[in-house]
């Protein structure tokens, strides 16, 4: 099975750091960090969550990816400031909207990105599938997920083929075409792919049934997952950070200067 497009082909050979952490630990950290960053609204607790999540992201040792992600966050933040400027200019009721109040939502976003990036860039799809299987997921969840992952590259190829066919017929699929002739372009691309999807699903469904898929629950995984002491320690550290941030939220809360913000 092909690994994620988000992962460099050499990822398999990288060891140590977050690459050796169990996928289940990474999933728990991502979920816990996302929930706690939404629940917490104080500046200092958010800063605490952000700092530790940044250390977590930095340990994946992918400076370029992290730099791109932060450039994106700054771009969105700049866009938000411009939006605020427009709102303050044209909507008098929003006059009180403060620029400083943008800090916490963007800290939240940065924390989420800090935990999501290691999950995406240090994990192979095969490990994720094995983790799903180890969670004893039923066939009705596992099979569509496996089919979907397997068919994403196939559909990308199908789109290329349809685009080439259109080219032979004298129609070039370009971004401008989607704006000038949206209905025509969509039909040209969409209908062949719809028919192909249905045919593929019928063929694959028959093949799966002939191979006896779904009849036997005991499948041997290609690589089994191993929970190590490091995974437990990382989870304990993450839990401590969340507990400390929650305590800071209760004790300190929002600083005096930022209270009463809209």
Stretch that binds another protein, among 3-11, 58-66, 221-229, 237-245 (CB under 8 A): 3-11
The CA-atom distances, in angstroms, between 67 and each of 72, 86, 123 are 9, 29, 19
168 binds another protein, rule: CB under 8 A? no
201 binds another protein, rule: CB under 8 A? yes
Specify whether the CB–CB gap between 38 and 242 falls below 8 A: no
For the bound state, the minimum distance from the C-beta of residue 102 to another protein, rounded and expressed in Å, comes to: 6
Footprint on residues 104-133 left by another protein (CB under 8 A): 104-105, 108-109, 112, 115-117, 119-120, 125, 128, 132
For the bound state, the minimum distance from the C-beta of residue 116 to another protein, rounded and expressed in Å, comes to: 3
Out of 32, 65, 73, 193, the only residue in the binding site for another protein (CB under 8 A) is: 193
44 binds another protein, rule: CB under 8 A? no
182 binds another protein, rule: CB under 8 A? yes
155 binds another protein, rule: CB under 8 A? yes
Instruction: Identify the sign of the CA torsion 186, 187, 190, 193.
Output: negative
Cβ distance to another protein smaller for residue 67 or 229? 67
Footprint on residues 50-89 left by another protein (CB under 8 A): 80, 83-84, 87
Instruction: Identify the sign of the CA torsion 176, 181, 185, 186.
Output: positive
Cβ distance to another protein smaller for residue 179 or 229? 179
Out of 89, 209, 221, 233, the only residue in the binding site for another protein (CB under 8 A) is: 209
Cβ distance to another protein smaller for residue 116 or 171? 116
Footprint on residues 129-148 left by another protein (CB under 8 A): 132, 138-141, 143-148
For the bound state, the minimum distance from the C-beta of residue 209 to another protein, rounded and expressed in Å, comes to: 5
Helix axes 23-39, 103-121, angle to 10 degrees: 170
Footprint on residues 220-239 left by another protein (CB under 8 A): none
User: First-to-last CA distance in the chain?
Assistant: 50
76-104 burial, b if ≥16 CB within 10 A, otherwise e? ebeeeeeebeeeeeeeeeeeeeeeeeebb
| Backbone dihedral angles phi then psi of residue 151, each to the nearest 5 degrees | -90, -10
Out of 51, 59, 134, 200, the only residue in the binding site for another protein (CB under 8 A) is: 200
Out of 55, 68, 204, 240, the only residue in the binding site for another protein (CB under 8 A) is: 204
CA–CA gap between residue 247 and residue 143 (Å, rounded):
42
Number of Cβ atoms within 10 Å of the Cβ of 34: 15
**Closest to 88 (Cα-Cα) out of 104, 78, 101, 99:** 99
CA–CA gap between residue 165 and residue 170 (Å, rounded):
9
């Amino acid at each position: 099975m092909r690994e994620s497009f988000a992962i460099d082909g050499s990822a398999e050979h990288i060891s140590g750091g977050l690459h050796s952490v169990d996928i289940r630990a990474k999933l728990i950290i991502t979920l816990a960090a996302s929930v706690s960053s939404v629940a917490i609204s104080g500046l200092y607790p958010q800063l605490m969550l952000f700092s530790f999540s940044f250390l977590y992201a930095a340990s994946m040792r992918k400076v370029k990816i992290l730099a791109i992600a932060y450039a994106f966050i700054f771009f969105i933040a700049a866009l938000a400031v411009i939006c605020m400027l427009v709102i303050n200019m044209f909507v008098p009721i929003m006059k009180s909207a403060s620029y400083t109040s943008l800090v916490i939502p963007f800290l939240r976003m940065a924390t989420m990105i800090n935990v999501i990036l290691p999950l995406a860039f240090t994990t192979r799809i095969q490990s994720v599938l094995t983790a799903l299987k180890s969670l004893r997921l039923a066939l009705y969840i596992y099979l569509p997920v496996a089919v979907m992952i397997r068919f994403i590259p196939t559909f990308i190829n199908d789109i290329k083929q349809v685009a080439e066919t259109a080219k032979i017929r004298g129609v070039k699929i370009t971004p401008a075409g989607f704006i000038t002739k949206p209905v025509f372009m969509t039909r040209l691309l969409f209908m062949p792919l719809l028919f192909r999807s249905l045919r593929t699903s019928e063929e694959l469904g028959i093949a799966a049934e002939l191979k006896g898929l779904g009849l036997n629950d005991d499948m041997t995984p290609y690589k089994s997952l191993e929970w190590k002491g490091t995974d437990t320690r990382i989870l304990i550290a993450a839990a401590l950070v969340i507990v400390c941030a929650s305590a800071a939220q209760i004790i300190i809360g929002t600083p005096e200067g930022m209270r009463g913000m809209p």
